[in-house]
Amino acid sequence: MQTDRTDVDTLFHNLWENYCRVTPSAERIHRLLDNSQGKAIVNDHIALRTFNIDKLNLDKLAAHFLALGYEQGGEYHFDAKKLYARHYEHPDPTVPKVFISELLVEQCSDALQSIVHQLVDNVSPSVVNQSDFLYSGRHWNLDYATYQTLLEESEYAAWTAAWGYRPNHFTVSVNHLSQFRTLAEVNQRLKDEGFRLNTSGGEIKGSPQDLLEQSSTMADRANVAFSDQTVSIPSCFYEFALRYPKPDGELYSGFVAASADKIFESTDSKG
């Protein structure tokens, strides 16, 4: 099919700029790993978070990517965290994959449901279709106490309420790095430079048998202007992925639910 590469590149450029504004460590890590001879860092995937309320659910976010020629990939269930996710990939394998999750709001407490519905009621349905929606931030007022109430029940709900629509992480494709062959080498370099890794489920999630190994930093912290005060809270993190070939020789392009489950914890404020 016709690959509208310019539109894809523009979207990811805008997503990256938005992400770096609250994730200063990503640019430092980018420079640290990109010491090759002009071989640019390849982005394996980004991840987006939302609530499963019709107005702005997973499908509404995915529509932006389907319009760019993406196709639906696998689906993933995270029962304990009350999340559902799908990944999307483009026929052009050099275009980043997209992992979109949504909180299953109706499975949460009445208090959480009531808060989230109030937030979402403030969103005009038309903004969800606008081309900049995926990096448009928060579309509701939120005070710090409400953020903390959400945080007690669901770190995911609190993060999404505070940050709104923006990439939760970008992901370095370790397969495309020239100076690092394994995830352990990448992790060691990051630790040597003082970066803190997510150790939930071990530093490396997944295995060659899973066809995907992943690691990630713990999220940076950045100021959020709540309606009553500005507070520094976990923002976004950087992920690293090493993919292995399937029997047909093509690199595995899916995700591993057990690993993604632990990666979600990279934005844990207690982490």
52 phi/psi in degrees, rounded to 5: -85, 35
Segment interacting with Ni ion (CB under 5 A) among 13-21, 22-30, 152-160, 237-245: 237-245
CA-only gyration radius of the chain, Å: 18
Strand 212-216 with 221-225, pairing: unpaired
CB of 47 to Ni ion, least distance (A): 5
Judged by beta carbon, residue 47 or residue 161, the one nearer Ni ion is 47
SS3 110: helix
C-beta of 47 vs 219, nearer to Ni ion: 47
Q: Which two tokens stand for residue 128?
A: 């969800």
Distance, in Å, from the CA atom of 18 to the CA atom of 14, rounded to the nearest integer, reads: 6
> Contact letters (x/-) for Ni ion, 193-232, by CB under 5 A?
----------------------------------------
The least CB distance from residue 48 to Ni ion, in Å, is 10
Site for Ni ion, residues 43 to 102, rule: CB under 5 A: 47
The answer to whether 186 and 201 have CB atoms below 8 angstroms apart is no
Q: What is the total residue count of the chain?
A: 271
* Nearest to Ni ion of 155, 239 (CB atom): 239
* Span of 110-118, 124-132, 133-141, 235-243 interacting with Ni ion by CB under 5 A: 235-243
Helix (H, G, I), strand (E, B) or coil at 103: strand
SS3 call for 212 = strand
Can you state the angle between helices 5-22 and 24-33, rounded to 10 degrees?
120
256 binds Ni ion (CB under 5 A): no
82 or 262: CB nearest Ni ion: 262
Q: In the bound complex, what is the minimum distance in angstroms from residue 34's beta carbon to Ni ion?
A: 19
User: How far apart are CB 224 and Ni ion at their closest, in Å?
Assistant: 22
**Rounded to an integer, what distance in angstroms lies between the CA atom of residue 199 and that of residue 210?**
19
CB 191 within 8 A of CB 197: yes
C-beta closer to Ni ion: residue 239 or 261: 239
239 binds Ni ion (CB under 5 A): yes
Binding to Ni ion by CB under 5 A, coded x per residue (else -) over 22-41, reads: --------------------
| Count of residues interacting with Ni ion (CB under 5 A) | 2
Q: How far is the CB of 117 from Ni ion (least distance, A)?
A: 28
Cβ distance to Ni ion smaller for residue 12 or 147: 12
Q: How many CB atoms lie within 10 A of CB 145?
A: 11
Tokens of 150: 């959400």
* Residues near Ni ion (CB under 5 A): 47, 239
